[in-house]
A = this chain, B = another copy of it.
Amino acid sequence: MTDKIPVATTKRLPLYYRFLTELYNRGTLKISSSELADLLKIDSATIRRDFSHFGQMGRRGYGYDVKELLGFFKDILDQDVQTTVALVGVGHLGHALLNFNFHKSSNVRIGVAFDVNPSVIGTKEGEVEVFAMDNLKEQIKLHKTDVAILTVPTDAAQEITDELVEAGISGIMNFTTERLAVPNNISVQNVDLTSELQNLIYAIGHK
């Protein structure tokens, strides 16, 4: 079923999941698409269309069963599987991400980090040890991680990407401005903070 879900819908899935988890924890058992629309600032027609892709129609005058929805999302997002992520590049941004509070409900955590700087190698940030790049392949196997966050200087990004692919990584969250060349079976999620900021400035200018 999930193969037919539109990309735009899948992108909202983690958001739905997180909010419904919060509501459920607060004791909310049912919610209407219009209440959810107010909370999420997404229009209710979009929410109803999204949920229909999960086979959830909502009952008129009752709304959606929060627990039932959560069960669906949980299955889809594989939230009950703990995912350990590797971080490559412990500069300012890498350091911030090591201390970043990924939503508690998300079951995502950084489990291992790498850097080239001798003064950082061997140190620990919380529970996470920083290894030399020479240990990349071995540590990635050891931690059974298939996702890496890339926060290295742009110059080094492609070379390290090649090493990550070689080490068996399936997905890279790329904070550098380099457009990474990867084999077709590898997913890359670019997080381009300058472009995000430019888009915002552009949006303001066009309001």
Identical subunits present: 2
A41: Cβ under 8 A from any B Cβ: yes
A189 x B196 contact (CB < 8 A): yes
Number of chain A interface residues as a range? 35 or more
Of the candidates B76, B100, B170, B193, the one whose C-beta lies within 8 Å of that of A207 is B170
Known A96-B93, A173-B196: A146·B202 in contact at CB below 8 Å: no
Listed A/B pairs (25) with beta-carbon separation below 8 Å: A11-B199, A13-B199, A13-B202, A14-B192, A14-B202, A18-B195, A40-B179, A41-B181, A78-B201, A78-B202, A85-B197, A96-B96, A102-B197, A103-B194, A147-B197, A147-B201, A170-B204, A173-B197, A187-B200, A187-B204, A187-B207, A189-B197, A189-B199, A189-B200, A191-B196
